[in-house]
């Protein structure tokens, strides 16, 4: 009996390649999605009995293609096909035939699908939302969370994007070199959002959503093969590798968040780190700096520090200042404030983030950082209020538990302190 969890993971991992191949075949987004869903239903019925195929993606492509053709025939003839038992021996014929499919035929389907979703006729937000839905199979709720909008608004955005793709008679072929370059920024942003969706998962969700991080890294590597001299794609790939390298150390055995400075660095994946650092060194030689490369350089400073106290926070502060110029954002400033607190103290960091409160009032990390800075300054009552706000905005149980730990510490150490700095 095949493990149901394995089947779920295999279907999730195979989705981009399978949908991309089915889209190439049917030239219609809705038909490709429906064919993939039918293939998944067949897999759920067949794999537990007969075992998993050698190549799940090829199996799903083959079955999805056949079910899509059958559906088209039924619509054309306006009459149902004969019962399955009359046209099939009910053996798992799909597996043996799928084994003969050449994987090389489908290796570019994911990128083709990405570039179609990121067509320049679509607004950038619709491009990324559509790609997250079609390529990665994220739910509307997950995508809405990534964009900080309501589910109904995101559903309408995706529907409009699909309608425009269908109505624009978009060619379902891989764009040429010039078109690929024009769409690269949107595709890179989409890959980054896929990674963050997996990376932001709490420990209870990590098993189900971890493949998103692996898929994002794989897509980034594919982009790097197409754009071998583009430093921003090197930076993007390096950033994902360096972030993902810390996965094993981010939560303790009880599922509690472990802050970066408290992580067991022996658990970090050195192979990923070395690959990421090599990409950064290569990208820097091009002397063209972009937001992904700057973020990767920040992650590299953490990765290169053997101990937390070895971290070059002054350089991190300078890099965040560069990122603020390249990509102004209150979240970037919030992250820079962490480095400022290490270099200039919590008072300077608190002064930096106070103007951000209105724009980040619904952001968990703003209130968590504010509470931590206030606690370092000995302003315990204000810190408790900030932590309460953070708990109300926590995205995962682990985030809420982490803040409750700070509140418990405040209650335990509830002694009058006057402006004492930690």
Q: Confirm if 277 and 246 have CB atoms less than 8 A apart.
A: no
Q: What is the pLDDT of residue 276?
A: 97
Q: What is the pLDDT of residue 113?
A: 81
Q: What are phi and psi of 161, to 5 degrees?
A: -65, -45
**Cα distances (angstroms) measured from residue 136 to each of 178, 196, 417, 422:** 25, 13, 51, 44
C-alpha span between 368 and 380 (Å, rounded): 13
Q: What is the pLDDT of residue 81?
A: 52
Q: What is the pLDDT of residue 77?
A: 58
Domain residue limits, the chain: 4-105
Q: What is the pLDDT of residue 136?
A: 74
Per-10-residue mean pLDDT of the chain, 422 residues long, equals 74 82 82 88 88 85 85 63 47 44 52 78 80 81 77 90 78 68 81 83 66 84 86 96 93 84 93 97 92 96 94 96 94 95 95 93 91 92 92 83 80 52 34
C-alpha span between 194 and 216 (Å, rounded): 6
Q: What is the pLDDT of residue 90?
A: 40
Instruction: Return the structure tokens found at 359.
Output: 């724009």
- For the chain, the farthest-separated pair of C-alpha atoms sits apart, in whole angstroms, at 84
Residue 117's nearest CA partner among 225, 25, 226, 16 is: 16
C-alpha span between 317 and 296 (Å, rounded): 14
Q: Confirm if 15 and 136 have CB atoms less than 8 A apart.
A: yes
Q: Confirm if 125 and 157 have CB atoms less than 8 A apart.
A: yes
Q: Confirm if 158 and 137 have CB atoms less than 8 A apart.
A: no
Instruction: Return the structure tokens found at 341.
Output: 């607190």
Q: Give this prediction's pTM.
A: 0.71
Q: What is the pLDDT of residue 418?
A: 40
């Amino acid at each position: 009996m095949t493990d149901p969890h394995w089947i779920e993971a295999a279907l999730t991992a195979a989705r981009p390649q399978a949908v991309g191949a089915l889209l190439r075949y049917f030239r219609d987004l809705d038909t490709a999605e429906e064919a993939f869903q039918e293939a998944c239903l067949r897999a759920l019925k067949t794999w537990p009995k007969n075992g998993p195929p050698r190549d799940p993606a090829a199996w799903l492509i083959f079955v999805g293609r056949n079910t899509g053709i059958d559906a088209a025939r039924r619509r054309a003839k306006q009459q149902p096909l004969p019962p399955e038992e009359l046209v099939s021996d009910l053996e798992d014929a799909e597996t043996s035939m799928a084994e003969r499919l050449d994987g090389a035929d489908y290796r570019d389907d994911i990128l083709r699908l990405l570039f179609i979703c990121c067509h320049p006729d679509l607004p950038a937000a619709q491009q990324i939302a559509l790609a997250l839905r079609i390529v990665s199979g994220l739910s509307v709720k997950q995508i809405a969370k990534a964009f900080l909008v309501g589910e109904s608004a995101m559903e309408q955005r995706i529907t409009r994007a699909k309608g425009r793709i269908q109505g624009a008679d978009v060619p379902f072929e891989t764009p040429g070199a010039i078109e690929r370059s024009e769409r690269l920024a949107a595709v890179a942003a989409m890959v980054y959002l896929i990674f963050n969706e997996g990376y932001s998962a709490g420990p209870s969700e990590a098993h189900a959503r971890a493949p998103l991080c692996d898929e994002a890294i794989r897509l980034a590597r594919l982009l790097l093969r197409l754009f071998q001299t583009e430093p921003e794609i090197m930076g993007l790939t390096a950033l994902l590798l360096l972030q993902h390298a810390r996965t094993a150390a981010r939560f303790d055995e009880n599922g509690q968040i472990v802050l970066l400075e408290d992580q067991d660095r022996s658990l970090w994946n050195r192979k990923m780190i070395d690959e990421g650092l090599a990409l950064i060194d290569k990208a820097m030689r091009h002397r063209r700096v972009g937001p992904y490369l700057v973020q990767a350089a920040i992650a590299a400073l953490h990765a290169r520090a053997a101990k937390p106290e070895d971290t070059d926070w002054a350089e991190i502060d300078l890099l965040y200042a560069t990122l603020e110029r390249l990509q102004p954002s209150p979240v970037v400033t919030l992250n820079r404030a962490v480095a400022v607190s290490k270099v200039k103290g919590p008072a300077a960091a608190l002064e930096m983030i106070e103007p951000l409160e209105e724009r980040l009032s619904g952001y968990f990390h703003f209130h968590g950082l504010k509470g931590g800075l206030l606690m370092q300054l000995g302003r315990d009552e204000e810190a408790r209020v900030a932590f309460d706000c953070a708990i109300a905005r926590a995205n995962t149980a682990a985030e809420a538990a982490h803040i409750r730990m700070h509140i418990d510490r405040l209650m335990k150490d509830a002694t009058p302190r006057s402006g004492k700095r930690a």
